[in-house]
Structures are given as structure tokens and as C-alpha cells.
Structure 1
Amino acid sequence: MGAYDEKKETCGTICLKYLLFTFNFLFWLAGGAVMAVGIWTLVEKSDYISLLQSSTYAASAYILILAGVIVMVTGVLGCCATFKEQRNLLRVYFVLLLCIFLMEILAGVLAYIYYQQLNEELKQNLKETMVQKYKQTDQDHITRAVDKLQQEFKCCGSNNSFDWRDSIWIRSSEAERRMVPDSCCKTPTELCGKRDHPSNIYKVEGGCITKLENFILEHLKIIGAVGIGIACVQIVGMVFTCCLYRSLKAEPY
């Protein structure tokens, strides 16, 4: 009977090892996906980040990148800990899983909080950023971001094209009598901004605020879903780790 129990415990340990190994492989792949989402947010859409007053949006992406790197390293460590059957490595692995879990929950919470305050921030700051900093000295990144925003989302001005009447650049001689930047034009050409007729420039209900807000809200949903989704999966890994740790502890040396 004792031999049967020992064999049963050994089979249980083997099953746990392979379950945890499978989890770690999938976890490693998930780490790459988390990191990719964070990098994509910062690289592909970094221009738009410069138009935001708060750094919460960027912070969520940085947290995901850091978590993704740690996840991939932890996945390798988890495989080593599993097959070497070392309880010390399993303890380290569990602590890292817990840290990553907290980081990804934090990224999800930050994304949710920023989701709630985004509309108010854009209303307060986007127009001021566009009219005060567009085409100004040492503000090339803002100029690029505004031009890209207006062309990519087919909009003109923060709320509407009339916002540009308050622009420091539009009111200067450098604008060469443009009424809006050339990036407002449906077919951008040099000095096309002199004519602000709807047939020439974008006239969008709600202006660029609505377009940018919808874009960022969708992106925040992705960041939040990825962070919280992977964090929930990690709970399974932590349960497997605890079970294997207890199983190894129960076996005779």
C-alpha cells in the first residue's frame, strides 16, 4: 500500500511538472505579446503621447514593457525550477510571478483611471497645446504630432477649424496668410491652408478632440485587457507552483 501511495505521489508530481512547463511556455509567449503591445504603443503612436498633459498613458505602456521582459525571463526560470525540482528556485519563481501580477494589475488600473479622466484632459489641454506650440521654436515634436493627427484622423483644430484663429503661428507673418495649417487640407499642398472652405479642409463634428479621444480609449482598452488578462492567467501558474512545491516537500529525499 505504501509503495502504491509513493507511486501515486510521484505520478502526481510528474503531471504537475509537465503542466507547469506547458504553462511556462505559454507564459513566455504571453510575455512577448505584452511587451509587443507596450512597444507598439510607445513607438507607433509616440507622437500623440506628446499632445497629452498627463504621463499616465505612457506609464501604462512602460509598465507593460517592463512586465513583458520580466515575464519572459521568469518563464525560462520557471522551466528550470520545474525540471530541476529545486524548491528555492520555485520560491523565487513564485515571488516573480506575484510581482508581475501586481505590475500588470497596476497597468490595468492606471489605464482604467486614465480612461475616466481622458475627456476632461483633452478639453482643457489639446486646444492650448495646438494654438500655443504649433510651429514654435523647439516644439517640432508638437508640430509633427498635430500635423499627423489632423491628416490621419481627417480633422482640423481641437474642436473645429475656427480654433486656429487663436494660433500664435496663424496670426504671425510666418503663416503667409494661411487660415489653417496645410495639414487640415484634404489634399495637402503648399499654402493650401489659405482657403478654409469645407470643400478644401476637413470639417469634422467634434474636431480632433473626439477623434483622438476615441483612438486613445480604444488603445487603453487593449492595454487594460492585456494587463489584467495575463494577470488572471498567472493565478493558474501560482496555483501550479504551490502544488508542485508542496508535492516536492512531501517527497522523501
Structure 2
Amino acid sequence: MAGVSSCIKYSMFVFNFLFWVCGSIILGVSIWIRVSGAQQGMDSGMLAGVNLLIAVGSIIMVLGFLGCCGAVRESRCMLMLFFIGLLLIVILQVTGGILGAVYKSQVELALNLTLTANMEALQSTTGAEKEYQETFQKFERENQCCGLLNGAEDWGKNFNKPASKICECELENPSSSDLCTKYQGRYIYKKPCGEVIMKILKDNLAIIMGISFGLAVIEILGLVFSMTLYCQIRRK
């Protein structure tokens, strides 16, 4: 009977040890963020994301442990559990990536609805949204844009406040720049910030999908290693 290939065995061990280390790092960092975030009053939505990372880190650690022990001890049971767990993760990743690619066009619609809802915050004159307005003005200056969807109109009455520099074009020659336009006697940035946000979102979505498919390729190698080793042990 054919023996177990040492190359496959130790390649499987190294692969899963690195897998386990990655899971440990994700879990450790996530727990640290969770604890410090809870103490500092982190938003519940962000905490939910951190909790998800804790779960992901834990699952990766368990799979890495199963893979390492299965390879070293030549345990078919552990290798099969590792294979099934990793296969489910690959299926979920690929499904998520495909759905992201298919529904990428709908991201713009969802974002527009969100931006429309946020216009009220820009137009608020009560002071309740002052922090948000100041943060958004900083975003406008950094990205040379104005408003959310309709430019300066999105600011409502706040645009004409005394000494207001909302959307103000800070270029040396705003009249000769394609980035600026004249509105109510002032030069302001022409591009709505919604376009900038959409570009950032689409770029990040493409990166996430790329990473997802890249990880899937690596995980498929793990599946091949584990099943090859499983079959060799079975024939032993």
C-alpha cells in the first residue's frame, strides 16, 4: 500500500498553522477593539461588525487547529471536518462575491436613497447636526466637492449663513478651473460629493471582491491538500 506523502503532510501542516495564526490575530484584535469600543461607547452597528470578526477569527482558528492536528496525527476525521468547514467558507465567499458583482449596479440606487435621507442633516439649522455638518465640510474640502446630490442646494439656508465657507472653491483661480462653478455670487466646487462617495464605494467593493476571490483560490489549495492527504491515509 502507498504511504502518506511527507511533502503533502507537512505542506498541509504549514498551511493550516498559518491559517491558525491569521485566525488568532483576527480574534485577538477583534476582542481588543470590542472591549475598548464598549468602554468608549462605540456605535452598535460597528460593534456588530466587530462581533462578526470575532466569530470569523474563532472559526478560522478552529479550522486551522483541525487541519494541523489532522495532518500531524493523520486523522481522517479531523481532515474531513476541516475539508467540510473550509468548503462551506469557500462557497459562502464565492456566493458573496458573485452577488456583489451581480448587484453592483444597485449599490448606486441604495446610496442615493441614503444620501437623500442625509440631506436633512445638512439643512438642519437647530445645531443638533452641527458636528455632522462640520465633518462633512471637511470632507468637501478634502475631495473638492459640494453637497450630496444637488450641490450647494443640499445645504439649504445654511449655505447663506454669514461668513459661511460651505463648498467654497479654495483654488487660486477658481474662475478658470473646471472644478469650480459660480453659485449665488460665490465660486463653489461643481462636483456633488455623492459622486465621490460612490467612486470610493465602488473601488472598495472591487477590492473586497478581489480579495474574496483571491482567498478562495488559496482555500481551494487547502481543500486539495486535505483531500489528497485524506485519500492517502485511507489507502495506507
Q: State if a TM-score over 0.5 links the two structures.
A: yes
Q: TM-score, normalised by structure 1?
A: 0.63
Q: Is the 8 A contact 2:20 2:64 kept in 1?
A: yes
Q: Distance in 1 between matches of 2:185 and 2:84?
A: 60
Identity %: 27
Report how many residues are paired. 206
Deviations 1:100-158 (A, max 9, x none): 212322432343245221222333431441x2123567767854663453243221102
Helix, strand or coil: the match of 1:220? helix
Helix, strand or coil: the match of 1:155? coil
Residue among 115, 121, 144 paired with 1:133: 121
The 1:62–1:73 alpha-carbon spacing in structure 2 relative to 1, beyond 3 Å, is same
2:60 aligns to what?
Answer: 71
**How is 1:98-109 mapped onto 2 (pairs within 5 angstroms)?**
98-109=87-98
5+ unaligned residues in a row in structure 1: which ranges? 1-5, 40-54, 188-194
2:10 aligns to what?
Answer: 18
5+ unaligned residues in a row in structure 2: which ranges? 31-44, 172-183
**How is 1:57-68 mapped onto 2 (pairs within 5 angstroms)?**
66-67=55-56
Helix, strand or coil: the match of 1:156? coil
2:72 aligns to what?
Answer: 83
Q: Distance in 2 between matches of 1:154 and 1:146?
A: 12
Deviations 1:202-245 (A, max 9, x none): x133x111111111111001111111211122112112111111
The 1:96–1:144 alpha-carbon spacing in structure 2 relative to 1, beyond 3 Å, is farther
Q: Distance in 1 between matches of 2:79 and 2:140?
A: 52
CA RMSD between the two structures = 4.0
Larger RCO, structure (CA 8 Å, separation 6 or more): 2
1:159 aligns with 2:138: no
Q: Distance in 1 between matches of 2:145 and 2:127?
A: 24
The 1:19–1:139 alpha-carbon spacing in structure 2 relative to 1, beyond 3 Å, is same
1:47 aligns to what?
Answer: none
Q: TM-score, normalised by structure 2?
A: 0.67
Q: Is the 8 A contact 2:147 2:155 kept in 1?
A: no
Helix, strand or coil: the match of 1:159? coil
1:245 aligns to what?
Answer: 230
The 1:204–1:27 alpha-carbon spacing in structure 2 relative to 1, beyond 3 Å, is farther
